[in-house]
Structure 1
């Protein structure tokens, strides 16, 4: 089955290596092209992530540098990798092609300048997470003790996303900011979050948050980080599927997708250590769900919810 993976951190690793790693086959990359093909990943989202520790006047340049590696290595050196710039591009991919989608994980890089997010949009960014775990000028992240909501500038960013049919990613928001976004975002998504009922972690969604997403017909993508799945070692595919089971029980069967976080996590789920193993998860799901349901989780649900 084809897979859409809505989150990985390959670009961060390419940037940190200053081009020494090659997307095609670098063994250091959990989501390199060879592994994506083996795992039948049809669309891979590539996050632009800038550490909060980077000096403010350097952050936008770091984002541009990651986009540079996206265009020169991911796309430029691999003609079978195709840029997803319009949502319809996903459905026009050829048999041997993989779609590459640019996303932004936290708007720290743009400061308070909407012109910069316009530039990122022109360069191909189609999903924007307002925060990572820290606070910034748009909102507070999940790790910020203050827990404040969406700022006026954050509302402007969401309005830009709405106007340009871009996704607004809630995965790293604190809870108050989440509820603010739900009120104003036309295209909310959780690119890599699990169920807080199953694993009580600040990065996961409560039942109330999950229900709100499903009521808005928004997608929630499962993340493979063991800390968010079970919280300890020896995390199995079955433990991850418990989160899918629970979201289905809340009415989210048609709104569940996958968001691995490969290359952004250190610990791994057993038999799901890199992108080549994506089919292991689907095969395990087929023990409990129909083929159509599993195809939904893997690919079809997301395609059915593209912004229009």
Structure 2
């Protein structure tokens, strides 16, 4: 049984992949891992499924340049989740009661439970628009990916903008969870002063991989102080400092991720740590730990953790948190 706090399911479908097929599919020049059959085989019962609208760039010429375009991309992804739900592949979960019930009544034939997370908030036109998204199932929002209208983000230092302050107030009023992954550190500290229902869905330790994509020790402690959670991410460059695309897959192993978990646990205990794999989130199998050839191989990572922590990191911590907080 696994609870994964970050999968870009709809984004990958919009990119042309069929997640209902069990075999790996090409991802540019790499190979995919995630599909509904593999998730079922690995025992993933619930995940956070993202709405990831990406800005236009040389790498993503079909990305957005305006908030309306960002909204259109995210709505297209939400429509994909709704189609999957109609077809019986997933069930969108919108409350703690639904999370607990889905988990407790799960059978081998049950659909994948999905909590909808918006990664990068540019699709939100204003606080009133957030209410529309919330009615449609949105329950977790990350303000940034890179820089957005709302805040600084990965590779873009800075705090909250005036629009960001207004949006954080709106998140708090609706009870929507704030995802701190990708937030610039200044924006993080400003946001948690305003809204204390916070997680980091997919972040490792900045002290081990020195990049602003990850969490500083003080950020990790603050999330724990606010009764939040952190998901370990499986992208090789986020696990081992110096790994770049083109290096052999064997260069990174699950053993290299263990120090991230241990470092967090030394500061805040094992009850704050889970999985936020981000698998196929812009990278393929070739840039994941060498043991990972199929999602069932995730168990090899959990087996490396202290015995008392394995089930907590595998599913218990996220399940307990969302059962109470969603």
TM-score by length of 2: 0.85
* Count of equivalent residues: 295
Deviation at 1:192, TM superposition (A): 0.4
Counterpart mapping for 1:92-171 below 5 A? 92-93=101-102, 94-96=105-107, 97=110, 98-111=112-125, 113-133=126-146, 135-144=147-156, 147-171=157-181
Deviation at 1:280, TM superposition (A): 2.1
Q: Residues 181-239 of structure 1: CA distance to partner in whole angstroms, max 9, x if unpaired?
A: 12122211100000111221221111111111111121011010111110324110011
User: Hey, what's the Cα distance between the residues in 1 that align with 2:293 and 2:204?
Assistant: 18
Deviation at 1:283, TM superposition (A): 2.1
Task: Structure 2: state its 5+ residue gaps.
Answer: 26-31, 57-63
Deviation at 1:273, TM superposition (A): 4.4
User: Hey, what's the Cα distance between the residues in 2 that align with 1:222 and 1:83?
Assistant: 23
2:61 aligned residue = none
2:99 aligned residue = 90
Match of 2:33 among 30, 34, 52: 30
Deviation at 1:52, TM superposition (A): 1.1
3-state secondary structure, aligned to 1:44: strand
Deviation at 1:175, TM superposition (A): 0.9
CA-atom RMSD in angstroms: 1.7
Deviation at 1:26, TM superposition (A): 5.6
User: Hey, what's the Cα distance between the residues in 2 that align with 1:55 and 1:199?
Assistant: 31
The ranges of structure 1 where at least 4 consecutive aligned residues each deviate by more than 6 angstroms after the TM superposition are: none
CA contact (8 A) 1:142 1:175 kept: no
CA contact (8 A) 2:154 2:212 kept: yes
2:70 aligned residue = 59
1:39 aligned residue = 42
Match of 2:200 among 185, 190, 214: 190
3-state secondary structure, aligned to 1:36: helix
3-state secondary structure, aligned to 1:148: strand
1:250 aligned residue = 267
User: Hey, what's the Cα distance between the residues in 2 that align with 1:155 and 1:65?
Assistant: 27
Does residue 77 of structure 1 match 2:87? yes
**Deviation larger for 266-275 or 149-158:** 266-275
2:291 aligned residue = 271
Counterpart mapping for 1:211-222 below 5 A? 211-222=221-232
Deviation at 1:76, TM superposition (A): 2.2
CA contact (8 A) 2:19 2:36 kept: no
User: Hey, what's the Cα distance between the residues in 1 that align with 2:192 and 2:297?
Assistant: 33
User: Hey, what's the Cα distance between the residues in 2 that align with 1:143 and 1:248?
Assistant: 27
1:259 aligned residue = 276
2:321 aligned residue = 305
3-state secondary structure, aligned to 1:180: helix
User: Hey, what's the Cα distance between the residues in 1 that align with 2:87 and 2:296?
Assistant: 20
User: Hey, what's the Cα distance between the residues in 1 that align with 2:33 and 2:238?
Assistant: 19
CA contact (8 A) 2:152 2:184 kept: yes
2:28 aligned residue = none
